[in-house]
Amino acid sequence: MRIDYFRILKLKGLTTTVVLFSCFTMLTFSAHAQLDSTKITVESGKKIFEASCATCHSSCPDEVITGPSLFGVADRWSEAGLSRELLRLWVQNPNAAKASGEKYINTLWTEWVDRRAAGVMTAQAVSDEDVESILAYLDTKPCKPKAEGGGCPPQVLPEEEESVSLWMYITLFLLLVLIFGAAGVRRQLKYANLKKEGIHYDEMPSYMDELKMLIGNNRKLFSVIVLLLVAFGAKDIWYTLKDVGVYGGHDYNTGLNYRPEQPIDFSHKIHAGCNEIECVYCHSSAEKGKHAEIPSSNVCMNCHKHIKKGKRENSEQEIQKIYDAVGFNADTKTYGEEGEPIKWVKVHNLPDHVYFNHSQHVVVAGIECQECHGPVEEMDVVEQVAPLTMGWCINCHNETEVAYKENGYYKEMHKRFTKDDLRKFLEDKKITAREMGGWECAKCHY
Ligand code: HEC
Ligand code: HEC
Ligand code: HEC
Ligand code: HEC
Ligand code: HEC
Ligand code: HEC
């Protein structure tokens, strides 16, 4: 419907216009009481959300971190009949908002504070405009689509598997005891009856003979049971051998597929995969120097000060190990005396006489971590996927062109090349790492 303001103006004169105009301004003012709309932007909302809220809240539907997902949160509050002011107050001071006694907030409390023990949300130092910006950002439904296969379903833990099969064995054992017990009583009765009927045996047939008879009469059933037992047994043996490193996998000469047990059940899949944390967030020295280094517990605490548990069952006790190492009390959120540092087991080991430098490969050559370490972001437990032999190094140096075109360092080198050098290098229209000295013994050997 279109309103012909021009006609209204003409018909009713100036007074109508003035009344209409002031109504309009009053409406806009009351809707955004004391809000400075110039300070409300999706971009600043994104920044504040990522810096202050994302450690505890996901923006994806139903995804729980410490607190509930904030996907569609504004709708939830308005559907519950709560005002926007109260929602803003909640973010700034949850306790004050709870004092309103609203049913929705009480339910939130029962669910998160009482039942899930997530703790009361910490009051956030944000202005009204900041909260509006966050809500505007959330309105854009910023949840990133997960990788194919629906992202990261909760994993099945080896512990669970073990306890399942343990229970299976216990049940099986009890069942056998029962069967034999019952069979024993029945047997006694049977032979007692036979005796009564005047039939005499010198000796009762042994359990073994009875079992043979039983099996003979129920061949099919027993072959199925035996097959099942063999299959389960073989699976367990297979996994045990794999863990110890006997089966194929881990080759003691090259270290290939070596995946030692770590002091904390730390999963790259959960961190670098599902939560898309950059490799260099934790391994920052890979870009700076020789070693990629394992992050210190303080790096873990950047996030785990807030994140006390994950989705897997053992997550709480595993994260507790970080707290123990840094002496953090998760209930009082205070630091006390530090414990033993976490002793990670090194997976990749080059001999001492070899020189290898990460930043040379990662920064100068621009090689992705995955080219040498495989799809780490898909691994629950890191394993060595490259042989780390001399052949492996020099093969790649022979095949890989150096990225000299985009690289200032090589522009500089290029200038210094003699014509002969250049002809030699460019014969095959490419410059490989080998031609840059990547096959010289002294480059790799101390
Ligand atoms: C330390 C963790 C933590 C941080 C940081 C945090 N929250 Fe929360 N938030 C929670 C928890 C836990 C709840 C559930 C209620 C409770 O336990 O107090 C919650 C609840 C909420 C709710 C209600 C959700 C619903 O489903 O109705 C909103 C809205 C909210 N938080 C917004 C924010 C915003 C916006 C920020 C950032 C400025 C933020 N929170 C930062 C932990 C946190
Ligand atoms: C949240 C921190 C974190 C992130 C993100 C992370 N890592 Fe790690 N990384 C660790 C920790 C802790 C260890 C030691 C425990 C282990 O081996 O699992 C480790 C070990 C490794 C190892 C084995 C090191 C050795 O002992 O030889 C490799 C290789 C590795 N990470 C590569 C990567 C790559 C590639 C990425 C990105 C895809 C990545 N990491 C992302 C924390 C992280
Ligand atoms: C050109 C191959 C190559 C690339 C690319 C590479 N690495 Fe490595 N990485 C190695 C080798 C070889 C070792 C073993 C070094 C040693 O034992 O001295 C290693 C060891 C590690 C270690 C164990 C700690 C250490 O430094 O010895 C971590 C962690 C690691 N790499 C992470 C990364 C990350 C993260 C990236 C990407 C940013 C990356 N690597 C890129 C080859 C590579
Ligand atoms: C940038 C943030 C961040 C850093 C840094 C970080 N984590 Fe985490 N971590 C998370 C998140 C988010 C989860 C919850 C994942 C989930 O279950 O969805 C998590 C979960 C975990 C879990 C439980 C996993 C599960 O669900 O079973 C462990 C254990 C853990 N982290 C250990 C570590 C260790 C050890 C470090 C340091 C080397 C570390 N984390 C560093 C964000 C981080
Ligand atoms: C995935 C391919 C690849 C693998 C695997 C690889 N390198 Fe390299 N490496 C390169 C490239 C490309 C360069 C050239 C970097 C540059 O200077 O632009 C290079 C450069 C080097 C240099 C510097 C050479 C010079 O001229 O200064 C050394 C030393 C080196 N690598 C050692 C190693 C060692 C040791 C290994 C095995 C443990 C190894 N590299 C494995 C690709 C690789
Ligand atoms: C690109 C890097 C690289 C270059 C260039 C290189 N090596 Fe190696 N070399 C290695 C690595 C890595 C190993 C360790 C392999 C292992 O442990 O299996 C190694 C191992 C060796 C060993 C075996 C030592 C042992 O413990 O078995 C000898 C000998 C050796 N190199 C000699 C040389 C000589 C001679 C040259 C020059 C012609 C040379 N290397 C050039 C990387 C290199």
Name the β-bridge partners of 64: 57
253 in a structural domain: no
How far is 169 from 232, CA to CA, in rounded Å?
A: 10
Query: Residue 246: pLDDT above 60?
Result: no
279 in a structural domain: no
Residue type, position 274, single letter = C
Which residues span the domain enclosing 185? 156-199
Q: Do residues 48 and 126 share a domain? A: yes
Element (H, E) at 328: strand 328-329
Mean pLDDT over 40-53 rounds to: 92
Best residue among 259, 265, 277, 283 to mutate for probing ligand 2's pocket (most ligand atoms within 8 Å of CB) is 283
The token duo for 258 is 């070596």
How far is 418 from 156, CA to CA, in rounded Å?
A: 61
Nearest ligand to the C-alpha atom of residue 64: 4
Phi/psi at 367 (5° precision): -90, 135
Q: Do residues 4 and 91 share a domain? A: no
Instruction: Pick the closest to residue 303 from 270, 346, 332, 336 (CA basis).
Output: 270
Give the count of alpha carbons within 13 A of 402, CB side only. Answer: 23
In eight-state DSSP terms, residue 64 is B
Query: Residue 151: pLDDT above 60?
Result: no
The pLDDT value given to residue 61: 82
Percent share of the chain, pLDDT over 70: 73
Q: Do residues 164 and 113 share a domain? A: no
Q: Do residues 88 and 128 share a domain? A: yes
Query: Residue 436: pLDDT above 50?
Result: yes
| 338 contact partners, CB below 8 Å, separation of at least 6 | 325, 326, 327
**Is residue 364 helix, strand or coil?**
helix
Query: Residue 18: pLDDT above 60?
Result: no
94-98, 140-144, 210-214, range with greatest mean pLDDT: 94-98
330 CB within 6 A, ligand 4: no
Q: How many domains does the chain have?
A: 5
How far is 13 from 16, CA to CA, in rounded Å?
A: 6
The pLDDT value given to residue 11: 42
Q: Do residues 64 and 18 share a domain? A: no
For residues 203 and 248, the model is more confident at 203
Query: Residue 145: pLDDT above 70?
Result: no
Q: Do residues 177 and 212 share a domain? A: no
The pLDDT value given to residue 157: 38
How far is 3 from 436, CA to CA, in rounded Å?
A: 76
Q: Do residues 4 and 48 share a domain? A: no
For residues 166 and 215, the model is more confident at 215
Burial string for 170-193 (b: 16+ CB within 10 Å, else e) reads eeeeeeeeeeeeeeeeeeeeeeee
- To the nearest whole number, what is the mean pLDDT of the chain? 79
444 CB within 6 A, ligand 5: yes
361 CB within 6 A, ligand 3: yes
Best residue among 258, 398, 445 to mutate for probing ligand 6's pocket (most ligand atoms within 8 Å of CB) is 445
> Measuring CA to CA, how many Å separate 196 from each of 182, 202, 205, 343?
21, 15, 18, 74
Nearest ligand to the C-alpha atom of residue 392: 5
How far is 290 from 152, CA to CA, in rounded Å?
A: 33
15 in a structural domain: yes
**Helix ranges (DSSP H) in 197-276:** 207-217, 219-244, 268
374 in a structural domain: no
Q: Do residues 396 and 410 share a domain? A: yes
Q: Do residues 115 and 72 share a domain? A: yes
Percent share of the chain, pLDDT over 90: 38
Q: Do residues 52 and 93 share a domain? A: yes
358 in a structural domain: no
> Measuring CA to CA, how many Å separate 150 from each of 65, 145, 146, 154, 256?
17, 9, 6, 11, 30
389 CB within 6 A, ligand 6: yes
The pLDDT value given to residue 24: 44
How far is 422 from 431, CA to CA, in rounded Å?
A: 9
**Is residue 386 helix, strand or coil?**
coil
Domain's final residue, options 139, 164, 184: 139
For atom 38 of ligand 3, the residue with the nearest CA is: 369
Cα angle 228, 231, 237; round to 5: 140
51 in a structural domain: yes
263 CB within 6 A, ligand 4: no
Query: Residue 152: pLDDT above 60?
Result: no
Query: Residue 435: pLDDT above 80?
Result: no
Mean pLDDT over 192-215 rounds to: 70
For atom 18 of ligand 5, the residue with the nearest CA is: 365
> Measuring CA to CA, how many Å separate 437 from each of 296, 364, 368, 396?
35, 14, 21, 13
**pLDDT-derived band at 291, boundaries 50, 70, 90:** very high
Rounded distance from Cα 70 to ligand 1 centre (Å) = 8
Mean pLDDT over 110-118 rounds to: 85
363 CB within 6 A, ligand 6: no
Q: Do residues 393 and 418 share a domain? A: yes
255 in a structural domain: no
**Is residue 287 helix, strand or coil?**
helix
272 in a structural domain: no
The pLDDT value given to residue 4: 52
Residue type, position 321, single letter = K
Query: Residue 30: pLDDT above 50?
Result: no
> For 133-142, 171-180, 253-262, 308-317, which range has the lowest pLDDT when averaged over its residues?
253-262
Cα angle 156, 162, 168; round to 5: 115
Best residue among 280, 291, 358, 377 to mutate for probing ligand 3's pocket (most ligand atoms within 8 Å of CB) is 358
Element (H, E) at 301: helix 297-304
Query: Residue 360: pLDDT above 80?
Result: yes
For atom 21 of ligand 5, the residue with the nearest CA is: 438
For atom 41 of ligand 6, the residue with the nearest CA is: 441
Name the β-bridge partners of 445: 354
Q: Do residues 162 and 71 share a domain? A: no
Mean pLDDT over 87-93 rounds to: 95
Rounded distance from Cα 28 to ligand 3 centre (Å) = 59
